[in-house]
Amino acid sequence: MTVLAILGSRNPNGQTAQAAGALREGVISEGGQYEQVFLPQMKIERCRQCEDDGWGLCRKEGRCVIEDNFSSLVDKVEKANMVVFATPVYFSDLSESMHAFLDRLWRTWLHESGKERVSGKPAMGICVAGGGGGGAPACTVSLEKYLSGCGFDVVDMVPVRRQNLNMKLSILKATGKWLVKGISIV
Ligand SMILES: Cc1cc2nc3c(=O)[nH]c(=O)nc-3n(C[C@H](O)[C@H](O)[C@H](O)COP(=O)(O)O)c2cc1C
């Protein structure tokens, strides 16, 4: 079982990374493999809304015209058994880098050749409100909408706020174990 974690934070020591790290512990402890990428370190432009009607190659061919790290990351998503999307909460919503990636992924899913790459793949979301602590539930709703829109089978969503981070770390460790051992028997 290979778990790919896609983080929308730029801080490898931040709260989002801590949350993903707890999940990683659970995955590794059950013999799973874990890889993580930080979106702000990658070159992923925002959607160009290529044509006057707002569409582009995404709808015609299930791929994006922009030549950056998007397509290689979609390759990783396709190869993984399970994908975890972990974002810091910005303005009660996803971080900009997470928006940019998922906006483009959603569009390619609208074509059959894009759809077959991720459709039905198990995925989960983690939203970490590390400031005042507000907005984690709203961000979770937003991220779930994106993941469902992209065709993932959303198996869990975990809102986290600064005030409950330590408690949620133990839940995320248990979730990591469950992703490896539990999900197939649900
Ligand atoms: C632009 C921006 C908007 C933010 N909005 C919120 C928010 O709505 N609620 C909240 O609790 N924290 C908010 N924060 C704080 C981040 O959630 C916090 O810094 C978080 O720890 C960042 O994650 P990281 O530690 O993984 O980098 C915001 C931070 C930034 C930079």
**Structural domain boundaries in the chain:** 2-180
Q: How confident is the model at residue 184 (pLDDT cuts 50, 70, 90)?
A: low
Is the CB of 164 inside a 6 Å radius of any atom of ligand 1?
A: no
* pLDDT, tens digit, 9 for 90 and up, residues 136-168: 999 999 999 999 999 999 999 999 999 999 999
Residue nearest to atom 23 of ligand 1 (CA): 88
* pLDDT, tens digit, 9 for 90 and up, residues 23-54: 999 999 999 999 999 999 999 999 999 999 99
Q: Quote the pTM value.
A: 0.96
Residue nearest to atom 20 of ligand 1 (CA): 130
Contacts of 104 (CB under 8 A, 6+ apart): 44, 46, 47, 58, 64, 66, 70
Distance, CA of 136 to CA of 92 (rounded, Å): 6
DSSP letters spanning 54-114: S--HHHHHSS-S--SSHHHHHHHHHH-SEEEEEEE-BTTB--HHHHHHHHHHHHHHTSHHH
52: exposed, middle or buried (Cβ count in 10 Å: 0-12, 13-18, 19+) = exposed
* pLDDT, tens digit, 9 for 90 and up, residues 101-122: 999 999 998 888 877 888 899 9
CATH topology of domain 2-180: Rossmann fold (3.40.50)
What is the residue-averaged pLDDT of the chain? 95
Edge-to-edge strands of the sheet including 153-161? 33-38, 2-7, 82-88, 122-129, 153-161
Q: How confident is the model at residue 93 (pLDDT cuts 50, 70, 90)?
A: very high
Residue nearest to atom 18 of ligand 1 (CA): 130
Instruction: Choose the residue to mutate in 18, 23, 41, 89 for probing ligand 1, maximizing ligand atoms within 8 Å of C-beta.
Output: 89
Neighbouring-strand partners of residue 36: 5
Q: State percent of the chain over pLDDT 70.
A: 98
Distance, CA of 96 to CA of 53 (rounded, Å): 24
pLDDT at 186: 44
